[in-house]
Amino acid sequence: MMYRTLIIWFLMLLLAVLNGAFREAVIRPQLGQPWGHVLSTALLCMLIGGLAWYSVGWIKPHSLREAWGVGLTWVSLTLAFEFLAGHYLFGRSWNYLLDQYDLMKGQVWLFVPLVTLLAPVWVFRLRMPV
């Protein structure tokens, strides 16, 4: 199950990169920074939810606990990648990276890790036999 969980996380990472490229090339020039950020975040949340919808059956968690394990793995890898790559590869300050989670500043990025954590659990509860 862990191998499949990791494969899907790499697909999620690819979707996130493509979403970012689409945001910069299409969404932000049309809508500007604040609305571009909101729309791109919503789009990525939907992509993650869709990927979870189609992949959780293949990952095959056998219990709600295992579905939580999938979500925790996905969100841990996502946050580790975001902060470590953001800081060490892309040169962002730790404060900048943390500011991306400040709802009071209009940042809605917090919903991406939240959906990443919860999507496998929601799908398991909706699609898997009890």
Give per-residue pLDDT as tens, 16-65: 999 999 999 999 999 998 899 999 999 999 999 999 999 999 999 999 99
Q: Phi/psi zone of residue 93: left (φ > 0), alpha (ψ -120 to 50 degrees), beta? A: beta
Percent of the chain whose pLDDT exceeds 90: 89
Residue showing tokens 């604040």: 34
| Domain with 88 in it | 2-127
Residue ranges of alpha helices (H) inside 23-110 are: 28-31, 33-59, 64-84, 94-99
Domain count, the chain: 1
